[in-house]
């Protein structure tokens, strides 16, 4: 059955104390909303992002990055049930399933969502809520079950009785719905609660009155539904995501010398027997091959592809570049918007000058196989250094260099005999 998603991303995020919409805050240079959209894009045919606070910014982000996603404006913002109702006109004739998520929960995994939908289908459910267990469930809506263990309702904490507040199973905020059976609910929700809002959770009680099959799926790892409401939450989620990533890499044959000071984005792939040295920071989307040595103090800024047997050493920054096998950039260099061949050596202090601040444009540097770049050289892009060419230390390259040649721009050395002694006198 076809599956679409609705992502709730209209909130202001007051506790973030920021002019940036909450869902556009970043973890390892990727937005919170981006994580959620990426985690559903392989299981749904279309996503609807509900926008509200700073709607134009969120709309721009979605339009520029996700072709299969649309934005829907919620104004005024009258609760989560009201938010979903904004999509009803666009799904009027849709008879498939809908999964509903929050745009501020970046830790949810694609495989978890797949299992959730599979469970929904396996029990022939009409409404399935994802739940999880917290020893301290404060601030979460409680899952209230019938005597036969089926789902009865969800009660928000501010509306819960003392007995209901003692329940440790909570609403994880993710739903799977058979849309043609549930869509009518969004025109019949009531706002008779403490907040005067239309709760998405009330579709559970509505479904029960319609004799629909209503269930709850328990998520084992409650960290996956950790929501971001403050900068403290953001820092904590970043740490959790990083620890999860490092553990997965180590289990797959990557050596992380010191996990306590290594940061690797969820979108970075690393091959077996590669060693990541301490204080390395790899953000964005990158692909690193086998038997590489990265760091210490290396920084990848995204869109970096590194083949096998490559060394990127201390204080080397790489951005939007492709580096072929057996190439070394040992220390103190910047490689940006570049393509490096195999068996290339980058001397210390080498800079690819890729940005023109007058035209606000970036250009490409190409170093073919077996090129050797001497220390403290500057490669002013656009420029190509052909196969086997050598660039002498301290050289500024402003035009293409032919194969197997030596390129050098250096003032002649001048030695003044006796200068030091005369100066001291």
Residues with a catalytic annotation lie at 331
Q: Is 424 exposed, middle or buried (0-12, 13-18, 19+ CB in 10 A)?
A: exposed
Question: What letters, b where the CB count within 10 A reaches 16 and e where it falls short, cover 327-343?
Answer: bbbbbbbbbbbbbbbbb
- Give the integer Cα–Cα distance in Å for 313 and 316: 6
Tell me the two tokens of residue 123: 């029990």
Supply φ then ψ for residue 152, to 5 degrees.
-95, -55
- Give the integer Cα–Cα distance in Å for 63 and 47: 12
| Residues with Cβ within 8 Å of residue 182, at least 6 apart in sequence | 98, 126, 127, 203, 207, 212
DSSP 250-285: HHTT-EES-GGG-EE-TTEEE-TT-EE-TT-EE-SS
Say whether 91 sits in a helix, a strand or coil: helix
CB 71 within 8 A of CB 140: no
With CA atoms as reference, report the closest residue to 119 among 151, 85, 163: 151
Tell me the two tokens of residue 304: 């970096």
């Amino acid at each position: 059955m076809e599956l679409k998603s609705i992502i709730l991303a209209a909130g202001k995020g007051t506790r973030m104390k920021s002019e940036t919409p909450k869902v556009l805050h970043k973890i390892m240079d990727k937005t919170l909303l981006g994580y959620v959209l990426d985690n559903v894009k392989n299981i749904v045919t279309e996503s609807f992002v509900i926008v509200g606070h700073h709607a134009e910014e969120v709309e721009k982000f979605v339009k520029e990055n996700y072709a299969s996603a649309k934005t829907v404006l919620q104004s005024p913002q009258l609760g989560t049930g009201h938010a979903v109702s904004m999509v009803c006109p666009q799904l009027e004739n849709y008879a498939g399933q809908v999964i509903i998520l929050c745009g501020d929960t970046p830790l949810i995994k694609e495989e978890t969502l797949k299992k959730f939908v599979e469970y929904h289908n396996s029990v022939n459910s009409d409404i399935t809520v994802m739940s999880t267990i917290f020893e301290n469930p404060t601030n979460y809506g409680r899952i209230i079950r019938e005597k036969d263990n089926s789902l009865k309702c969800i009660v928000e904490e501010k509306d819960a009785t003392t007995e209901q507040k003692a329940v440790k199973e909570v609403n994880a905020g993710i739903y799977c719905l058979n849309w043609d059976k549930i869509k009518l609910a969004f025109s019949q929700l009531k706002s008779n609660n403490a907040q005067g809002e239309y709760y998405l959770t009330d579709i559970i009680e509505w479904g029960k009155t319609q004799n629909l099959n209503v269930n709850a799926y328990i998520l084992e790892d409650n960290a996956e539904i950790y929501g971001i409401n403050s900068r403290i939450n953001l820092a904590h989620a970043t740490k959790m995501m990083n620890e999860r990533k490092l553990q997965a890499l180590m289990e797959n044959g990557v050596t992380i010398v010191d996990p306590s000071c290594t940061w690797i984005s969820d979108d970075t792939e690393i091959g077996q027997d590669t060693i990541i040295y301490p204080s390395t920071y790899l953000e964005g989307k990158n692909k690193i091959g086998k038997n590489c040595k990265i760091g210490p103090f290396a920084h990848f800024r995204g869109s970096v592809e590194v083949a096998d047997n490559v060394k990127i050493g201390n204080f080397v920054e790489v951005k939007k570049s492709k580096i072929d096998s057996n190439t070394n950039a040992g220390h103190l260099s910047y490689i940006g918007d570049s393509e490096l061949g195999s068996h290339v050596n980058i001397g210390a202090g080498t800079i690819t000058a890729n940005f023109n601040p007058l035209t606000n444009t970036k250009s490409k540097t190409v170093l073919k196989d077996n090129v050797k770049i001497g220390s403290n050289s500057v490669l002013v892009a656009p420029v190509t250094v052909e196969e086997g060419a050598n660039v002498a230390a301290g050289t500024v390259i402003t035009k293409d260099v032919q194969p197997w040649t030596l390129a050098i721009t250096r003032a002649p050395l001048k030695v003044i005999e006796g200068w030091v002694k005369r100066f001291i006198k």
